[in-house]
A = this chain, B = another copy of it.
């Protein structure tokens, strides 16, 4: 069984590698793990010895099959718990991350099975991120940043990419939420900010950075 820390490393490697596509460097891992590069080196050696990752000195690490499976289990648990916190306990979407970071490490297959059922088998979490199924399969829906969506066409907000609490609070304040219907009314040349309409009801301006962090799909 994996330790709390080992689980967190695997999860971080999964995210940083973009689901296992590219190698992850010692320094970036140190950054996201809030630790020192020397500590990372020690840990990746351990995970490598456990056949969970492929580690080559000075090059970086990559998830091996089993490491990816473990990472996806943790992500599954994290996202199911976030869904529970919002849908059942009435947390807001900016409050759930820290608590889910703890809950994701609870060891009980039965618990996750029953939680999944209780939530009626959700496929996305409150931030629009897909929830891996029990076998670790993830249903990726192709989405594009709002910033790159054509103007005047209606789209649906599907997810936030890297949603920090303050960004999420800001979105709530301006009335943007998952499944909101949005269209771009104007694009400001100077800074790339956008004027958008939300649900055909209100018009607001959002920055280019914000629009890069909002993932959308076209409407039928």
Which residues from chain A sit less than 8 Å from chain B, CB to CB? 85, 88-91, 95, 98-99, 102-103, 106-108, 110-111, 114-115, 117-118
Contact = CB atoms under 8 A, between A and B. Distances in A.
A118 to B, nearest CB: 5
A99 B110 CA distance: 9
A216 to B, nearest CB: 31
By secondary structure, the A interface counts as helix
A115 B89 contact: yes
A91 B115 CA distance: 10
A108 B99 contact: yes
B106 A99 contact: yes
Contact of A89 (B89, B95, B107, B114): B114
24 contacts: A85-B111, A85-B114, A88-B88, A88-B118, A89-B111, A89-B114, A89-B115, A89-B118, A90-B114, A90-B117, A90-B118, A91-B110, A91-B114, A95-B110, A98-B108, A99-B106, A99-B108, A99-B110, A99-B111, A102-B106, A102-B107, A102-B108, A103-B103, A103-B106
Contacts of A114: 85, 89-91
